[in-house]
Amino acid sequence: MMHSSLSHEWVLLIFFHGILLMCMSSCLKSATVPAIANETDRLALLDFKNRITQDPLQIMSSWNDSIHFCNWLGVTCGPSSKRVMVLNLTTKKLSGSIPPSIGNLTYLTRIDLRNNSFYGEIPQEVGRLLRLQYLNLWSNSFGGKVPANLSYCTQLRVLAVTYNNLIGQIPNHLSTLSKLEFLGLDVNNLIGHIPAWIGNFSSLYALGLSRNNFQGSIPSELGRLTGLKYFQLYGNYLSGTIPPPIYNISSIYYFSVAQNRLHGSLPPDIGLTLPNLQIFYCGLNNFTGPIPASLSNASQLQDLSISGNGLIGTIPHNLARLQGLVTLYSGGNRLGYGKDGDLNFLSFLANCTSLKTLDLSYNYFGGVLPNSIANLSTQLQYLYFAVNMIRGDIPIGIGNLVNLELLGLSDNYLGGTLPDVLGKLQKLKELYLNDNKFSGPIPSSFGNFTAMIMLSMAKNRFEGNIPLSLGNCQNLLYLNISSNNFTGTIPKQVIGLSSLSISLDMSHNFLIGALPFEVGNLIHLSWLDLSNNRLSGEIPTTLETCLSLEHLYLEGNSFQGAIPQSLKMLRGLEQIDLSQNNFSGNIPKFLGKLVSLRHLNISYNDLEGEVPSEGIFANTSEISIFGNNKLCGGVQELHLPTCTRKNPHSSKKFLACTQNKLLKSTNGFSENHLIGSGSFGSVYKGVLSKNGAIVAVKVLNLQQKGASKSFINECNALRSIRHRNLLKVISACSSIDREGNDFKSLIFEFMCNGSLDQWLHPKNDVQHQSKRLRFIQRLNIAVDVAYALEYLHHHCETPIVHCDLKPSNILLDEDMVAHVGDFGLANFLFEASNNPSKSQTLSIGLKGSIGYIPPEYGMGGQVSTLGDIYSYGILLLEMFIGKRPIDEMFKDGLSIHKFTTMTLPEHVMNIVDPSMFFVEDEEDIYDDIEEITIIEEDPRVNVSSRIKECLISVFQIGLSCSKASPDERMPTNVVVNEMNAIRDTFLKSKKKNEPE
């Protein structure tokens, strides 16, 4: 549509210019000649000069008495009359108003002031210029009304006031101007109806009323203008149908009624009754019915724009006869049937060898893109199929259309991989592939797109790395590859494309690694979205040079460190989303000082300390800070605790359990020694006074229902189980604390490597950030946990169901051996075991941790060992994918289970956590270590097929364990055997590959 209205305007300009020149000769003839020059003319011209307010070209300097006024620049007198006949000051950069004394220049036949900056009203005194034939005020700033007195200028042939600010209606007096050949009132603010008397102007060949506020219907009297060539009414509020007599003005070759409220269908014989038609614009109305095939009889037709109506049917095949057709805009109709063969007409359009623009967008075209598009005119610059129902691949033949500048295929059902020949279209400036089903990689030939400005590939199934060659597209203003399956790191060549200014969107992919510091090259960019990937590390301080940034979205990654101070340079920021990362430290104060900031989301990080109160922080509906448990202060509506130096509760609960010789070394349960907490209570690190052994002390939260009652039995149960992969209980104690409250605690052996959760989802502390679990370590831990479950389920006196298996309940000792602990629902373990007869049928309601709870528990089902197997299955998937089951990406029905099912087996490497391969000295990961030279590359690319097979097997077990129906899940002993077998196979094949 943009293109359509643009070309309208140009045609309009060229057209008026042409007419004006054509008129010159005919207008020169008249003028009766008196004998002497007249003082009146000199005074009137000086008055005109006095009103000039700007004259940068010093045109008026010649207007002085040392020269006869007939020789003043822009003034032409009659040769013998010495009276002013022509006033021509076109394009002289003049500004000023026109004095009423212009009416004294009574010999004037032509006034040409076009293309200046004259303002004020057109004085009524022009009505005294009875000889006036030509009045051209095109492109000035005249206001007020069209002077009714013009009605006296009955010799007028040309009246052009296009591009001014005139208001009011067309005065009815003007009906006297019956000699008018040219009436151009376009682009003003005129209102009212189109007067029917214009139909009496029998010499009129150009009627321009476009871009005003005319309303009502088009008078059928206009059909009497049998010499009309230009009929230009677009951009008004005209309604009704086009009167049939208008379609009978066979002389018309420029017909534009676009952008009104017209309806009805186009006459079937329009091409026969308007045989001279070259330009036909009727877009943006409510026309219905089919596209008349007779248009093919208008053999001169060049531009056909019928976009934005309710036209039905298809593109008539015989339009192929229009060899001169340059543009065909038919977007936004109801064309096509959503069926195969809908686009067959494309093969006929191959005859339109001048075709430059073909717009079929926003219709119902179905079927495939025929390879015959290869035969379309090589002149084609603009090919637009967006928002249809087209399926299949992009035909290879598209590579023939070497002059294409725009290719729009978005919002269809296209698929397959992109043909490499696309890269041949080196003149492409805009390529829209978004919202389809394309898969495979971005061809590296995209690096040929050095003219590309807009590239949109969002919402497809593209995969693989972002090719470095995209960095060659140094004219890109807009790049959107969001919502695909891209993996690997962000190439610095691409993030550093300094031309990007509109938007860079890579969100919702599987990108890993750090944000390259070259992001600082994006000095013109206003929209940056890298959200929902797997990016990590700190935000580079170079971001501070992106001074045009208004929208910054980094949420849903694993960024860490402090929110960088350097962001305070970005004064234009309006929206910031840093949520769901691992940002830590305080909320920087400058965020409250960014005056443009309208929305801030920093929720679900690890931020602490005081929330500022000023700026955006005063507007609680526009900030989100949830999920940062160590925040305090801020405005009252946030209901955060007030900020104090110390937690008053921590020191009070002094451990009073001395009969067991427990110790003070938890420092009165100070926060420094807190190593974990949850609804069940808190776990502290301590030292046994008896032998100095380091222990974990779990202090139960007795407010929790049932905790106290089951405590003793629970202790017994825990003491009676012993297994290498279960967390060992050293002691338990029950007592009264100093304030007289019940106090109960359990003492466990201390696990120096913390929980599996900390390893899978590392936070930003020095202790954890460099830690990564290698593939074999993950496999070992998975086998350990399986052993623990097998013990609980099959080798205890009564089967024990854990009910809360999840990474934070799996502890790792100094040798990275896994120990399943009870930090989640220890009492549960006991409840399930205290009564042998009920051990597998106890109804527990919804217990466990979201994401790991088997579906049957949620539906009031029974606790069973198969419930633990479900949690184990989810755990396996999480361990090797590196995403929690409650990760943001798993929503709208896409669970971690379903996600895995969809990718197995071919795409297994797309979903595995790449960090397990980030290990320098692990020769067992890669088939050939020599090949790994490109640092930016995703480490998963070179992983050996041996590991891939292993991963597939692990995922298959994970899937089998996490089936929705308990009956379909693998029993515990089978799980143990299978997991063991996978590890054995892996280790054996490794040995085999090793040279002796």
Q: Structure tokens of 293?
A: 């095939």
- DSSP characters for 645-686? SS-TTTTT-----GGGT--STTTTT-GGGEEEEETTEEEEEE
Task: State yes or no: residue 88 binds ligand NAG (CB under 6 A).
Answer: yes
Q: Which is nearer to ligand NAG, 24 or 396 (CB)?
A: 24
Q: What is the C-alpha separation between 800 and 279, in angstroms, rounded?
A: 84
Among 77, 105, 112, 481, binds ligand NAG (CB under 6 A): 112
β-pairing, 681-687 vs 630-633, is unpaired
Q: Structure tokens of 214?
A: 């005319």
Q: Using the Cα atoms of residue 168, residue 169, residue 170 and residue 175 in order, give the sign of their dihedral.
A: negative
What minimum distance in Å lies between the beta carbon of 83 and ligand NAG? 8
Burial label for 849, CB within 10 Å (0-12, 13-18, 19+), is buried
Q: Which is nearer to ligand NAG, 90 or 985 (CB)?
A: 90
What minimum distance in Å lies between the beta carbon of 127 and ligand NAG? 15
What minimum distance in Å lies between the beta carbon of 134 and ligand NAG? 5
Active site positions, annotated: 804
Q: What is the C-alpha separation between 933 and 356, in angstroms, rounded?
A: 46
Q: What is the C-alpha separation between 817 and 578, in angstroms, rounded?
A: 35
Among 40, 575, 710, 960, binds ligand NAG (CB under 6 A): 40
Contacts 24+ apart (CB under 8 A), 299-303: 299/275, 299/324, 300/253, 300/276, 300/324, 301/271, 301/277, 301/325, 302/278, 302/326, 302/327, 302/354, 303/7, 303/278, 303/279, 303/327
Q: Using the Cα atoms of residue 740, residue 744, residue 748 and residue 754 in order, give the sign of their dihedral.
A: negative
Among 32, 39, 892, 994, binds ligand NAG (CB under 6 A): 39
905 prior amide bond cis, ω within 30: yes
316 prior amide bond cis, ω within 30: no
Q: 351: how many CB neighbours lie within 10 A of its CB?
A: 17
Q: Which is nearer to ligand NAG, 38 or 489 (CB)?
A: 38
DSSP state of 862: B
What minimum distance in Å lies between the beta carbon of 41 and ligand NAG? 7
Stretch touching ligand NAG by CB under 6 A, among 38-46, 385-393, 571-579, 683-691:
38-46
Task: State yes or no: residue 106 binds ligand NAG (CB under 6 A).
Answer: yes
Q: Structure tokens of 950?
A: 């292993």
What minimum distance in Å lies between the beta carbon of 227 and ligand NAG? 22
Among 5, 30, 62, 90, binds ligand NAG (CB under 6 A): 90
Angle ∠(582,584,585) on CA atoms, nearest 5? 175
Q: Which is nearer to ligand NAG, 134 or 553 (CB)?
A: 134
Residues 6+ apart with CB under 8 A from 244: 220, 223, 267
β-pairing, 110-112 vs 134-136, is parallel
DSSP state of 331: -
Q: Which is nearer to ligand NAG, 90 or 731 (CB)?
A: 90
Among 2, 21, 595, 766, binds ligand NAG (CB under 6 A): 21
Task: State yes or no: residue 545 binds ligand NAG (CB under 6 A).
Answer: no
Stretch touching ligand NAG by CB under 6 A, among 106-114, 115-123, 246-254, 739-747:
106-114
Q: What is the C-alpha separation between 689 and 747, in angstroms, rounded?
A: 13
- Reported residue count of the chain is 996
Stretch touching ligand NAG by CB under 6 A, among 84-92, 333-341, 421-429, 871-879:
84-92
User: Looking only at residues 830 through 869 of this chain, which bind ligand NAG when binding is defined by CB under 6 A?
Assistant: none
Stretch touching ligand NAG by CB under 6 A, among 82-90, 302-310, 323-331, 818-826:
82-90
Q: Which is nearer to ligand NAG, 63 or 791 (CB)?
A: 63
Task: State yes or no: residue 30 binds ligand NAG (CB under 6 A).
Answer: no
What minimum distance in Å lies between the beta carbon of 14 and ligand NAG? 14
DSSP state of 251: T
Stretch touching ligand NAG by CB under 6 A, among 104-112, 115-123, 565-573, 722-730:
104-112
Q: Structure tokens of 405?
A: 């500048």
How many residues sit close enough to ligand NAG to count as binding (CB under 6 A)?
A: 12
Q: 57: how many CB neighbours lie within 10 A of its CB?
A: 12
Q: Which is nearer to ligand NAG, 110 or 778 (CB)?
A: 110
Q: Which is nearer to ligand NAG, 91 or 203 (CB)?
A: 91
What minimum distance in Å lies between the beta carbon of 86 and ligand NAG? 6
What minimum distance in Å lies between the beta carbon of 54 and ligand NAG? 19
Task: State yes or no: residue 929 binds ligand NAG (CB under 6 A).
Answer: no
Q: What is the C-alpha separation between 84 and 385, in angstroms, rounded?
A: 59
Among 134, 748, 828, 872, binds ligand NAG (CB under 6 A): 134
Residue 145 labeled ligand binder: no
DSSP state of 761: S
Task: State yes or no: residue 82 binds ligand NAG (CB under 6 A).
Answer: no
Interface contacts to ligand NAG, rule CB under 6 A? 21, 24, 38-40, 86, 88, 90, 106, 110, 112, 134
Binding-site entries for ATP: 698
